[in-house]
């Protein structure tokens, strides 16, 4: 289910004194099975763009094609597009509204008019995918969940609609390191085992760097870089210029280099950094 | 899907026009006076005159006309319903039936009563909108509080009342924004808010209202903590950062208001109501 965006513009509160253009002439293509990080500082337009991918916004200027279906076309079934492209919002409280976890996850499939057996099956599967134990959590009160569990329940609620593309907006915001790790593992599995196209929207470089294969950097409503993770992340100057912190390992390597050590800055995680440093230390001609 | 786009109530449009710079007491009392006049207005000419004055205010405040009128849009369905009730149910003695269908009969008096009432509600809303668009929330509190202060002697908690009012106004856009987000999250899970009959559409609002209320309570709780952590204890003994002072412009404004009121009252008294 490829997503294509052509010359897209977006203005908030158009026609009022508060009008503000949030997207400028965006062109983009995301193919099947890609694992993309959509990164930018706040107000860069990344969430706005994401909401075009599942037809929450309909283009007034430019085009958005989901699997060849134009979202601005009157004959396009927008509800179907929203089932195909799942969107998990930043704040799970905006999404969870039923009393129990099970009921809430069942909401999407109910809207799809699935049979009761099918709904039960999907709820069970979705809970397994995000690592919520069915027997423990099915009847649990939503408000009794921890932050990380709420977030997982919110993802399960979207997964139960069986999307082919999954958009996760600010998925790690406000979680402790452990909750963050758990959630990111869930996402990784969804991409690797579930063969889903996953788009992570985030302003945190560290989380995203370890996971995604392609990074799109946005700033002030424009795409300023788009390429394989390693390539984009090593342009430290560019990241710092728009106020994004590069991943710490890359910063360490950069500092080493500045101090005359011959290491590459193209590392994504701590293991690569270690082997690179070990390699440098073992080089002939060094004491 | 932008709820906040059509929302003008409770939003402040920063500016430096004569209307923006008036003392908030003048503006609040003036708006109250104008609304009072509106309640007694009973003929089309007087309403036209009032509307002209309202547009004059909008021009003075440099509010884009389209933006000011956009806020009226959400009220139109209610007004239409009210108008229909008036047209078909008002049957004062001596009125003529001008249209009849099935068991329903529309009278000329009903038509006039309905139309006048709709115009009145629209202008009333426009007056409040102009007030809030040109007055920041801080000024609104200060103004209301100052105006209510004489009543403190008979036990009215002026400061608290003003604060309550301002918090309510302040959170209208916040709640609208939040509702927008929740609607989006539900839409993303397959709720089609545009589809279905009236009752089906109403039922679809539950998934929106429930989280909205929960979040509103949470927000109120946070606000209380924020206020208490800054040692807010209520009215007595609080001083002001900006002390309100009436200026030359305020006296001009009162002059304009009195002149307008005199003309408006003349119009109300001299022209006979259409029914």
Look at B190 and A79 and tell me if their CB atoms are within 8 Å: yes
pLDDT at B236: 66
User: Consecutive sets of 10 residues in chain A, 287 residues long: mean pLDDT of each?
Assistant: 92 82 93 92 91 92 92 89 91 80 91 90 92 90 86 91 92 82 88 90 80 92 91 83 83 87 82 87 68
Name the residue among B209, B223, B225 with its Cα closest to residue B168: B223
Q: Pick the residue of A14, A52, A93 with the most B CBs within 10 A to test the interface with B by mutation.
A: A93
Written as one string, the DSSP assignment of B25-85 is: HHHHHHHHHHHHHHHH--SHHHHHHHHHHHHHHHHHTT--HHHHHHTTGGGHHHHHHHHHH
Percentage with pLDDT > 90 across chain B? 27
pLDDT above 80 for B188: yes
Any domain includes B97: yes
Look at A56 and B1 and tell me if their CB atoms are within 8 Å: yes
* Domain that includes residue B139, residue range: 3-160+242-270
pLDDT at A165: 94
Name the residue among A174, A170, A169, A164 with its Cα closest to residue A196: A164
The SS3 assignment for B182 reads: helix
pLDDT above 80 for B239: no
What residues contact residue A149 under an 8 Å CB cut-off, 6+ apart?
A: A132, A137
Name the residue among A124, A109, A212, A125 with its Cα closest to residue A161: A109
Query: Predicted confidence band at B4 (pLDDT cuts at 50, 70, 90)?
Result: low
Put simply, whether B186 touches A (Cβ < 8 Å) is yes
Name the residue among A213, A206, A94 with its Cα closest to residue A158: A94
Sheet with A214-219, strands from edge to edge, namely: A85-88, A165-169, A197-202, A35-39, A214-219, A222-228
The SS3 assignment for A66 reads: strand
pLDDT above 90 for B104: no
| C-alpha to C-alpha distance for A93 and A88, rounded to whole angstroms | 11
pLDDT above 80 for B99: no
Q: Topology of A3-246 in CATH?
A: Rossmann fold (3.40.50)
Count Cβ atoms below 10 Å from residue A141 Cβ, excluding itself: 9
Name the residue among B123, B116, B149, B117 with its Cα closest to residue B236: B149
Any domain includes B101: yes
Q: With beta carbons less than 8 A apart as the criterion, state whether A33 and A12 touch.
A: no
Number of domains in chain B: 1
| C-alpha to C-alpha distance for A40 and A37, rounded to whole angstroms | 10
Put simply, whether B73 touches A (Cβ < 8 Å) is no
Q: Report chain A residues whose CB lies below 8 A from the CB of B210.
A: 97
Task: Nearest by CB to A17, from B64, B181, B210: name it.
Answer: B64
Task: Nearest by CB to B190, from A15, A57, A112: name it.
Answer: A112
**C-alpha count within 13 angstroms, C-beta hemisphere, residue B142:** 17
pLDDT at B2: 60
Q: With beta carbons less than 8 A apart as the criterion, state whether B126 and B134 touch.
A: no
| C-alpha to C-alpha distance for A207 and A27, rounded to whole angstroms | 25
The residues in B 146-175 lying below 8 A from A, measured between CB atoms, are none
Q: Report chain B residues whose CB lies below 8 A from the CB of A201.
A: none
| C-alpha to C-alpha distance for B188 and A95, rounded to whole angstroms | 9
| C-alpha to C-alpha distance for A234 and A205, rounded to whole angstroms | 12
Map tokens 């100057």 to a residue: A237
Per domain, the residue ranges of chain A are: 3-246
Look at B210 and A89 and tell me if their CB atoms are within 8 Å: no
Q: Is B77 exposed, middle or buried (0-12, 13-18, 19+ CB in 10 A)?
A: exposed
Question: Rounded to whole angstroms, what are the CA distances from A41 to A10, A52, A128, B102, B210?
Answer: 18, 19, 33, 63, 31
Put simply, whether B18 touches A (Cβ < 8 Å) is no
Any domain includes B71: yes
Map tokens 């006039």 to a residue: B112
Query: Predicted confidence band at B210 (pLDDT cuts at 50, 70, 90)?
Result: confident
Tell me the per-residue pLDDT of B24-45, one tens digit each, with 9 for 90 and over: 899 999 999 999 999 998 899 9
Q: What is the mean pLDDT of residues B105-134?
A: 89
Name the residue among A283, A263, A226, A252 with its Cα closest to residue A36: A226
Question: Rounded to whole angstroms, what are the CA distances from A99 to A144, A161, A176, A191, B214?
Answer: 10, 19, 25, 30, 12
Q: Report chain A residues whose CB lies below 8 A from the CB of B4.
A: 13
Sheet with A3-12, strands from edge to edge, namely: A20-30, A3-12, A61-66, A69-70
Any domain includes B204: no
Any domain includes B229: no
Instruction: Report the alpha-carbon angle A168-A173-A174, nearest 5.
Output: 145
Put simply, whether B231 touches A (Cβ < 8 Å) is no
| C-alpha to C-alpha distance for A87 and A155, rounded to whole angstroms | 9
Question: Rounded to whole angstroms, what are the CA distances from A269 to A206, A251, B243?
Answer: 9, 11, 59
pLDDT above 90 for B152: no
Report ipTM for this prediction. Answer: 0.80
pLDDT at B271: 84
The SS3 assignment for A205 reads: helix
pTM of the model: 0.77
């Amino acid at each position: 289910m490829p997503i294509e965006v052509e010359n897209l513009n977006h203005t908030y509160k158009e026609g009022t004194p508060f009008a503000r253009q949030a997207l400028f002439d965006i062109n983009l293509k995301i193919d099947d099975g890609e694992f993309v990080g959509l990164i930018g500082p706040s107000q860069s337009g990344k969430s706005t763009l994401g909401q075009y991918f599942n037809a929450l916004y309909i283009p007034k200027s430019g085009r958005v094609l989901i699997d060849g279906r134009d979202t601005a076309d009157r004959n396009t079934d927008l509800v179907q597009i929203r089932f195909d492209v799942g969107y998990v919002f930043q704040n799970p409280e905006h999404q969870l509204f039923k009393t129990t976890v099970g009921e809430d996850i069942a909401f999407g499939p109910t809207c799809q008019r699935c049979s009761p057996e099918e709904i039960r099956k999907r709820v069970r599967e979705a809970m397994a995918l995000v690592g919520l134990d069915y027997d423990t959590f099915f009847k649990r009160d939503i408000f009794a969940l921890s932050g990380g569990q709420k977030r997982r329940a919110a993802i399960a609620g979207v997964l139960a609609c069986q999307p082919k593309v999954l958009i996760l907006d600010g998925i790690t915001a406000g979680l402790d390191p452990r909750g963050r790790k758990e959630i990111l593992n869930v996402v990784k599995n969804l991409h690797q085992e579930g063969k889903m196209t996953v788009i992570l929207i985030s302003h945190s470089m560290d989380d995203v760097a370890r996971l995604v294969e392609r990074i799109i950097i946005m700033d002030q409503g424009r795409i300023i870089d788009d390429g394989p993770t390693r390539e984009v992340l090593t342009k430290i100057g560019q990241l710092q210029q728009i106020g994004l912190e590069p991943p710490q390992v890359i910063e360490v390597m950069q500092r080493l280099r500045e101090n005359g050590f011959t290491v590459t800055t193209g590392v994504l995680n701590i293991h690569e950094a270690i082997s690179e440093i070990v390699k440098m230390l073992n080089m002939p001609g060094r004491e | 899907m932008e709820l906040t786009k059509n929302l003008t109530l409770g939003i402040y449009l920063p500016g430096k026009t004569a209307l923006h710079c008036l003392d908030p007491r003048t503006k609040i009392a003036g708006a109250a006076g104008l609304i009072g006049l509106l309640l007694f207005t009973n003929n089309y000419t007087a309403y036209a005159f009032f509307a002209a004055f309202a547009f004059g205010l909008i021009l003075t405040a440099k509010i884009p006309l389209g933006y000011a009128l956009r806020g009226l849009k959400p009220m139109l369905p209610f007004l239409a319903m009210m108008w229909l009730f008036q047209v078909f149910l008002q049957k004062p003695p001596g009125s003529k039936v001008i249209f009849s269908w099935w068991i329903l009969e529309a009278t000329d008096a009903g038509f006039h009563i309905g139309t006048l009432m709709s115009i009145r509600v629209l202008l009333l809303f426009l007056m409040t909108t102009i007030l809030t668009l040109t007055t920041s929330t801080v000024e609104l509190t200060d103004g209301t509080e100052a105006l209510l202060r004489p009543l403190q002697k008979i036990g009215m908690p002026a400061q608290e009342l003003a604060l309550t009012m301002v918090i309510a106004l302040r959170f209208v856009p916040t709640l609208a924004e939040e509702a927008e987000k929740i609607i989006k999250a539900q839409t993303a899970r397959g709720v089609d808010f545009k589809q279905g009959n009236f009752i089906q559409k109403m039922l679809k609002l539950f998934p929106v209202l429930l989280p909205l209320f929960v979040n509103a309570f949470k927000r109120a709780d946070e606000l209380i903590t924020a206020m208490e952590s800054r040692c807010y204890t209520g009215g007595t003994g609080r001083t002001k950062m900006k002390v309100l002072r009436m200026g030359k412009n305020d006296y001009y404004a009162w002059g304009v208001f009195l002149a307008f009121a005199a003309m408006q009252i003349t119009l109300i008294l001299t022209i006979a109501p259409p029914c």
